[in-house]
Structure formats: C-alpha cells, structure tokens
Structure 1
Amino acid sequence: MDTLGGAEFAPTSTYLNTSSCGLWPRRSVEAVGRLAQEIADGRPEGSGSTGAVEAARASFARLTGVSADRVALGGSVAVHVGLIAASLPAGAEVVVPEGEFSSMVTPFTTRDLKVRYAPLDSLAEAVGPGTALVALSAVQSADGRIADLPAVRAAAAAHGARVLLDASQAAGWLPLDAGRYDYTVTGGFKYLLCPRGASFLTVTEEAQESLVPVHAGLFAAEDPEGSTYGPVEEFARSARRYDEPPSYLAYHAAAQSLPLLEEIGIGTVHAHNTALAARFRVGLTELGHEPVPGDSGIVAVPGLGGRRPLLARAGIVVSARAGNLRVSFHLYNSAADVDRALDVLSG
C-alpha cells in the first residue's frame, strides 16, 4: 500500500505519530520560508497576507462541510474552548467524557460551572434536562476511540443542550460535517498538516449569539481597516467576530496544507489510514497483544506504552499515552511502515 503524499513528504524516520504532530508538506515549508525571507528583507506587507489567511479559512470550511462565514480562526483549541466557557451562564452543567483531553475540560473548571464526567460509551445517556453543553472529542486522544456522535447529538437535541466537538484528532482523515454541531474546535497541527498556531472554530448561525467575543480586536470587526483605534464599534456579522489575530507564518502554511488534503480527498485519506490501522491491529493480535478495538486510524495498545523507547531506537516515532502505545497513521505512511513497527515489536 503506497503513500498518498507523493513527493510532498520525505520523512527521515518511520513516522507514526500524527496524533501528536503532523508533518508539513513541502509546499507549506516553502511558503513559510518565503514569508520569513520577506520579513527579514523588510518588504512591504512583509508581516503576512490576509489573502493567505482567508484562503485557509475557506479551505477548512470546504473540508468540514460548512460555509466560510461559519469559521473563526485562532491559535489554539484551549482559547476557543475558553471563549465558549466564558459565554456560559454561572452554574451551567457541562457533560464531558472521562479522560477527555485537558484543553477541552480545563476552561470549564476555571469558572463557576458544573462539570460532570461520564464514560465515553455512555455519554449520551448522561445528558439530562439540566445539561447546557456536551463537550467531547470526535476521536479520543489517549486510545483512538471514535465517539458515538449521532447518539450524543440526539441526546443533546432531546434535552435542549448544545454540543461542542473537538475534531483535532479527526479532521483531516475522518469525514466530518461540522454544521451538525453547535461548535467545533480543531487544532490544525495534527492531521490537517498545519503548524501550531493555526486552529479553527466553527459556530452555527443559530448558536452564534450565544458567544461573547471576549478576546475581540480589530480582526473581529466588520470593518477591520476602520477599527484600528478605540473600541470596535461593529463586530463581524459572521463567525469571524471570534477571530484571534492570526499567526501569519502558520496560516501561510495552512493555506498550502489544507488544499493538499482537498486534492487527495478526505474519503481517500480515511480509507488509506484505516486500512493501515487494520493491518497493524491484525499484526498485533498475531503477536499476542490486544489493541483497543474499532475502526479508527489511531491504534492504541494498553500496557505497551513502555515499548516507545524501543521503537524510537529503531527510528520509529510513536507516542505513549495513558499507559497505551499509540500509533497513528496518515497519508505519508505505507504498509511497509506498519510491517516495520510490527517487526520491532516482535523482538
């Protein structure tokens, strides 16, 4: 099974760690280099291009099935979640899965909110009439499990709760319709192949008025050029009102990385990644290990996290999370990578 990235990628290791950080395609590296040189040269507009920022916004929107006016840009998932947490009324109940990633939980715990935890497999049953928000990851960071998203959406709708979905471990390989959720947040530096500093918030039109633009600056204005000094008089009528000032280097790269995923197609990436993961699960089972079951492109093996140094010495990059050995596949991986990892694990 060949890679999908072609000449865009040339890793010097067997890289199976996209759940921690995705590799940049060559075109993105070159875009960052060009902008860095322009800044060093002191050229006009050398700080960065708003055109590149808007191109990244539009590409992310297409990848996740929403219009560009539903996408706000920022620098981290934690800030997006903090915005949502700050907009909830005091005492509101937020239901989250046990073991959820800290960036999705901590902003709610720092405010006067009631945070209630439930097992991921029964999260929908934990939603009740007093729930204001259900916050969860589409794919769990620690073990790669895919949440039962239809069940969560149905439970939230039945009780009048909103849903916040973290797509950081999903967007880029798992088909996603962001418009089905009140809010989604996505760190771009994993499967979207962007640098850190590029993150995305989607807000449905109906949910938009529930958020207070607490970190608004001129980029959140309807007329940014006319809002340089003094308070912003009119916020953008779109989700752009929740924009943070962009990290131009990150977004110049994002404007190249995201179109690459569009060219290949998320459906194609999904089939590729899950096929590699299935091959790895079969091999692990033959070696006597029991991976977390499922159809995810991320494979976790409980109790095997201590093997990460062994793999690292063999030039194979993976993660250890919550005691699990976590191996994640993406478009620059091949069947040969799977077999090499299995060979090292076999001893």
Structure 2
Amino acid sequence: MTDSTRSSWSPALVEASRSFAPRTGYLAACTMGLPMTATLEAQRLDLDTWRTGGTSPIEYGAVVEEARVAYAALVAVPVERVAIGSQTSSMVAVVAAAVPDGAEVICVDGDFSSMVFPFLQQRHRGVRVRSVPLAELADAVSDDTWLVAWSAIQSATGAVADDAAIVAAARRHHVLTLCDTTQAAGVLPVDASRYGVTVCHAYKWLCSPRGAAFLTVSVEAAARLRPVQAGWYAGESVWGSCYGPIMELAPDARAFDVSPAWPVWVGALPALRAFAGLDMTEVWTRASGLGDLLCDRLDIARQGQAIVTWVDPGGDLEALTAAGLTASGRAGRVRIAFHLWNDEDDVEAVAGALRG
C-alpha cells in the first residue's frame, strides 16, 4: 500500500493499516481477519510468560475486562451491557432457550446457520421459525412475532440489512430484536444500543483470535432471558463463584459471561483497542469504495458493500486462487472482502486474474 493511497486517510486509519503484513493478496476478511502486529507480539509474550509460569488467572481476568471496555466503546453501549463469550451460536442459544412455547421467531432466508439452528432446536416446544427474504424482514414482523433475528451484513451475499426499518417494525409490535454484527463490527458503524440483543464473534473484521466473542443485552431484553450457560465467570464475585451450592449471579450483562479462553483474549485486546479508536464511517467508506471500484472494473452493478459477491458458475474462484489471491466462496457465490490492509492494487489484481 503506497503512501499516496493513504494520503486522504485519517492518521488513526493510516496507523492501523500499517499494522498488518504488506501485500498479502488477502481478500477474505469475511472468512477470517488478519492479525495486527500488536496482537502477534502480545501472544508471543504471553506464550513465553506462560512457559515459565509467569501468568495467572487474575491477570488474564484483567485483560478480559479491558477487552470488554474496548468493545463497549466500539459498539456504543455501557460496559455493563456487554457479556463475553466464545462463539455466536452458543450465545444465540441462550436467546433461543427463552422463546416461549409456541411463539414465532422470524429469521432471514439464507442467513448464517448460527442465527437459525439454535431456534430450530426449539421446535419440540412448538416454537415456530419462519424465514423470509432480507428485504421483506421488516414487513414480516407482526403482533404474533416474539423475536426477529438477522445479521447486520449477510455472510453469503454481503448485503447490508435495513436495520432502521427492522428495528422500527419490532418496536411497533413490541418484538425482541437479535442482530448478529459479526460481519459488521470493525468495518461498519454499529450502535448496539438500538437492539435488544446483539452477538459478535471478533475473529473476522475485528482481527482477533478465534474464540473471543461478545453479547450485548439491553436491560429490557435481559429481563426476558435466563443465563442458562451460567458458570463461575458469571458470578457477582468471579472468584467467589467457584464452588456451590450458593451462587449469586452478576447484576448486569456479566451474568451471561462464559469462562474465557485466556490466551485468546491477550491477542484480542490490542485489536479491539485499535478498532475502538477508529472512525467506522471512514473505514466503511474506504472498504465499500474499494468494493464499488471492483464492480466498475468487472462491469457489474455497484453493490455499496465491503463484501462484493457474484454467482460463480465455475472457474472464478479457481482463477483468483491461481493468481495468488485469497478469496472465498459461499452459497455458490464468490466473495471478495476489502478491509484495512487492502487498496486499489488489490482491485486491479482481482480484475486482472478474472480477465486475464
């Protein structure tokens, strides 16, 4: 990435872009993010410290709490509304377990399975799962709906949901909202206070090691959920919750915490701090702008997305791989994802591989 490319960027975005390996040909942030230099350094130091017995659970706990603070700032909610987890499906399962017998849940047709499967497993209680196209989601919400669940950005297509319309419809009908921001946080501005519940795995656009995930829950939503995953880390006093039979849960979103995989959070903290200090509108403008530039070069309609996708009848993904580029394919489509380490040269590399 040249200095001229960065000339119009803010200093914070320039610094963040320089913290990744140069010229990777990596166009798959929607599959897995790349690590920042600070993440790699933190993890290497942690391994060396662990090797000599210099680490401790209490020190790891402090790292987790700092990560919680950074994520809260990133998604614009009080830190008391943030719980930590390890994967989205287990956090969604907490919501699924709270759906009343016989109630209706509306999902998006073709959404990622972690946002659908947990609800399907409640059908033995009469829970009804209805899937509709993303564009029809807001209109599908009714007084018979208990929950509407969707991803802010669709994994397979990169399509950005009309969150304002969906949230407005849910409020009119007093329906709980659940939004998966895994494909949005780190590239698109996210205000988690708009939703009852959000889930996010930080290993994609937030460039963290896999195993660091977050749940945000409003005060109203928390009253409708039960912390069915509660373990020692969910206690009001973490170190006082190690042994039964009596346990007092945390009075805030920490009641939904799961025990953290400590080394993962050591690597996640520097990345979360970095992203919390960025202007996400600038990041999105840059990433989606590269996406539109690629659409222009490929003579397809602009998508206004950081993830550009098209139906691959066969050969495009192979051509990209043969050219040394890392892209991904989902649901019969090629996915090209642009993030902080990408620039116009990557656009030209994709166009050249497909037209060459």
Partner residue in 2 for 1:59? 70
Secondary structure in 2 aligned to 1:8? coil
- 1:44–1:16 distance in 2 versus 1, CA, 3 Å: closer
Partner residue in 1 for 2:273? 259
Partner residue in 1 for 2:206? 192
Which whole-Å deviations, capped at 9, do the CAs of 1:164-222 have from their partners, x for residues lacking one?
00001101011111000000000100001111100000000111111111111111011
> What amino acid does structure 1 have at the position aligned with 2:60?
S
Equivalents in 1 of 2:324, 2:246: separation in Å? 52
Q: CA deviation at 1:109?
A: 0.4
Partner residue in 1 for 2:9? none
Does residue 337 (structure 1) correspond to residue 351 (structure 2)? The answer is: no
Equivalents in 1 of 2:257, 2:57: separation in Å? 21
Partner residue in 2 for 1:243? 257
Partner residue in 2 for 1:276? 290
Q: CA deviation at 1:262?
A: 2.5
Does residue 32 (structure 1) correspond to residue 46 (structure 2)? The answer is: no
Q: Is the 8 A contact 2:216 2:253 kept in 1?
A: yes
Equivalents in 2 of 1:214, 1:117: separation in Å? 26
Structure 2: gaps (5+ residues)? 7-12
- 1:233–1:331 distance in 2 versus 1, CA, 3 Å: same
Secondary structure in 2 aligned to 1:210? coil
Q: Is the 8 A contact 2:104 2:145 kept in 1?
A: yes
Does residue 177 (structure 1) correspond to residue 186 (structure 2)? The answer is: no
Instruction: Name which of structure 1's ranges 323-332 and 231-240 shifts more when overlaid on structure 2.
Output: 231-240
Q: How does 1:113-124 map to 2 (within 5 A)?
A: 113-124=127-138
Partner residue in 2 for 1:105? 116
- 1:304–1:22 distance in 2 versus 1, CA, 3 Å: farther
Secondary structure in 1 aligned to 2:277? helix
Q: CA deviation at 1:61?
A: 0.5
Q: Is the 8 A contact 2:85 2:257 kept in 1?
A: yes
Partner residue in 2 for 1:158? 172
Does residue 322 (structure 1) correspond to residue 331 (structure 2)? The answer is: yes
Q: CA deviation at 1:334?
A: 0.9
> What amino acid does structure 1 have at the position aligned with 2:183?
Q
Equivalents in 1 of 2:244, 2:64: separation in Å? 24
- 1:339–1:244 distance in 2 versus 1, CA, 3 Å: same
| Percent of residue pairs identical | 38
> What amino acid does structure 2 have at the position aligned with 1:130?
D
Partner residue in 2 for 1:21? 32
Equivalents in 1 of 2:33, 2:103: separation in Å? 36
Equivalents in 1 of 2:275, 2:147: separation in Å? 31
Q: Is the 8 A contact 2:71 2:276 kept in 1?
A: no
Q: CA deviation at 1:226?
A: 1.3
Partner residue in 2 for 1:95? 106
Equivalents in 1 of 2:161, 2:288: separation in Å? 16
- 1:144–1:158 distance in 2 versus 1, CA, 3 Å: same
Q: Is the 8 A contact 2:17 2:340 kept in 1?
A: no
> What amino acid does structure 2 have at the position aligned with 1:57?
R
Partner residue in 1 for 2:10? none
Q: Is the 8 A contact 1:35 1:48 kept in 2?
A: no
> What amino acid does structure 1 have at the position aligned with 2:325?
I
Q: Is the 8 A contact 2:291 2:303 kept in 1?
A: no
Aligned residues: 342
Q: Is the 8 A contact 2:158 2:305 kept in 1?
A: yes
Q: Is the 8 A contact 1:144 1:297 kept in 2?
A: yes
> What amino acid does structure 2 have at the position aligned with 1:204?
S
Secondary structure in 2 aligned to 1:135? strand
Structure 1: gaps (5+ residues)? none
Match of 2:81 among 67, 70, 92: 70
**Structure 2-normalised TM-score?**
0.92
User: What is the RMSD of the two structures over their aligned residues, measured on CA atoms?
Assistant: 1.6
**Structure 1-normalised TM-score?**
0.95
- 1:318–1:305 distance in 2 versus 1, CA, 3 Å: farther
Equivalents in 1 of 2:24, 2:59: separation in Å? 32
Q: CA deviation at 1:267?
A: 2.1
Which whole-Å deviations, capped at 9, do the CAs of 1:10-62 have from their partners, x for residues lacking one?
15630000000000101001111111222221225178511110111011110
Partner residue in 1 for 2:140? 126
> What amino acid does structure 2 have at the position aligned with 1:302?
V
Secondary structure in 1 aligned to 2:250? coil
Q: Is the 8 A contact 1:144 1:298 kept in 2?
A: yes
Partner residue in 2 for 1:144? 158
Equivalents in 2 of 1:125, 1:44: separation in Å? 52
- 1:45–1:314 distance in 2 versus 1, CA, 3 Å: same
Equivalents in 1 of 2:96, 2:336: separation in Å? 32
> What amino acid does structure 2 have at the position aligned with 1:334?
D
Instruction: Name which of structure 1's ranges 176-185 and 36-45 shifts more when overlaid on structure 2.
Output: 36-45
